[in-house]
Chain A
């Protein structure tokens, strides 16, 4: 049976977060909202895939990773990048094609490279590459791991299974973080994924952990010992987050029925923290909104990015 995120229980109260974590959640939220505003104003070209609603996943995971661990991200990767580097200027400059862009404006939203962080826009492609990096890390730096973020839709790609097979056969420190938001672009998971992700991992003898929580503290408590095992024993791990995509796949292409959108909104960490009405939340929220407004104004005023072709 496919586990649908739409069947999730009513939202529970979330635990109090450290300022750093709450601020980071809000930084990502306002960054993504700003992108949608900029698109609406004609300030951005191309496309983008926001992670609205899923921000807590990389915020929870990132402190469990070392900067020497390798991270692979995907088309919906702004949160992954910001949680690792807290660099809205470089990312926005990349998306806007302005000076100071992370990849000189060549990669854009979906193709980022910084030290040991890489994203690409082809589904499933990253897992074999991540497996290769995990092989290299296992041999050169004991205790390091590779973390690859994928979605539930990615499990339709054969490359996923080829990679999991080799990662299991060769005992590689590969953590696959699945952001299972219940929808692959416009196709609900129950119409594109037979069986479960848990059973697919089990077929390779790979440990699988599913969490329904959106509570950053709780998630970290669950994952910390699992990631320690990956480092210590050099074994792969699949972590599945039952999460919710608040927005459209990219910009304005949301074909979901209203009740599905409403259900996703009920689970939104932002609304839940706002409802818990802490003064601190209101203050940090305003701070991050202002900060992103300033970042956007500053980056938009920069000259165009320059690229020296090879």
Chain B
């Protein structure tokens, strides 16, 4: 099953199970079913609760927050994550603050879904991964979908928190298969050994025997796997991959036992350079584990650049499997 289908089925199940749940966004109703078809079929089955909105990201995220304020759980779909900047005030200054700024906990079951990422030639304003701009906002949690994590469990867990959250969904990942049964491919296995919200662990044979650890959100999972295969076959470097679903607040504690075995730790993401999620993770690792580390954490991210439209130019600035491969091989001296 492709990731998009898993997400779509998860939304259907959520709407079946929760008679109050609403979803708002641009072009989300049938027959169009959303720009990436994630909401396909939903409005046909639940016409009163799936609302096609005007082109008003700030407005409809505010409406979703108002529903949540009134006790109605709401999902807002941003067509391209780039446009979530138009809703920044509602997310940062209203929803995230309201859960605590009135001096007591206020439930606000609001989830903002954001299709992210490049590689499709959509150009500078339809290709970004803006996760880093939402890091460190009190009261706001950030999540990312992955091919290792079933979206029904993920979405149910987020809505059960009854707090504002942003979910990032890589657009290329939509088209790729979900993993199942503990096998990522013929070389690598995976498991989900950590408590909720779970981090997936992908490894060759012995999780504790890997030369290095790569931490990457779900959008990079397939690129990371290709890099791990090349590292193994070309450079005889074994790499263990950790894929968290909750990007922020990030809980390092459950992963520390695993990280202690690593000769090197890498954090990869699609963000542009500067003020990145990886820098936040690296800071935590350095603070907690400095004495155990052979070297500082290495960050892998896109260039400090807009994302060009032309395919050959786009590839020059993005994180590719070869970027990950080259960086890890370089640090480990292969």
Contacts and interface: CB of A to CB of B under 8 A. Distances in A.
B101 A107 contact: yes
Contact of B62 (A101, A112, A128, A310): A128
A234 B256 CA distance: 56
A251 to B, nearest CB: 22
A163 B139 CA distance: 25
A111 interface: yes
Contacts of B103: 101-107, 113, 305, 307
A189 interface: no
Interface string A106-149: 11000111000010101001011111111111011000000000
Given A101-B103, A111-B101, A120-B94, A128 B70 contact: no
A309 interface: yes
A112 B56 contact: no
Q: Find the residue from B63, B99, B102 having the highest chain A CB count within 10 A.
A: B63
B69 interface: yes
A118 B105 contact: no
A246 to B, nearest CB: 29
Interface residues of B, number: 36
B102 A129 contact: no
Given A128-B62, A166-B59, A310 B105 contact: yes
B75 to A, nearest CB: 13
Contacts of A128: 56, 58-63, 65-66, 90
A255 interface: no
Contacts, number: 120
B50 to A, nearest CB: 13
Interface in B241-256: none
Contact of B67 (A105, A120, A132): A132
A190 interface: no
A28 to B, nearest CB: 22
Given A159-B59, A165-B54, A132 B65 contact: yes
B63 A132 contact: yes
Contacts of A305: 103
Contacts of A162: 54, 56, 58-60, 62
Contact of B60 (A139, A166, A309): A166
A252 interface: no
Q: Which of B66, B72, B105 has the most CB of A within 10 A?
A: B66
Given A106-B102, A125-B89, A128-B61, A133 B66 contact: yes
Interface string B71-106: 110100000000000000110011001111111111
B62 A129 contact: yes
B118 interface: no
A164 to B, nearest CB: 9
Interface of A: 70, 101-107, 111-113, 118, 120, 122, 125, 127-137, 139-140, 158-159, 162-163, 165-166, 169-170, 305, 307, 309-310
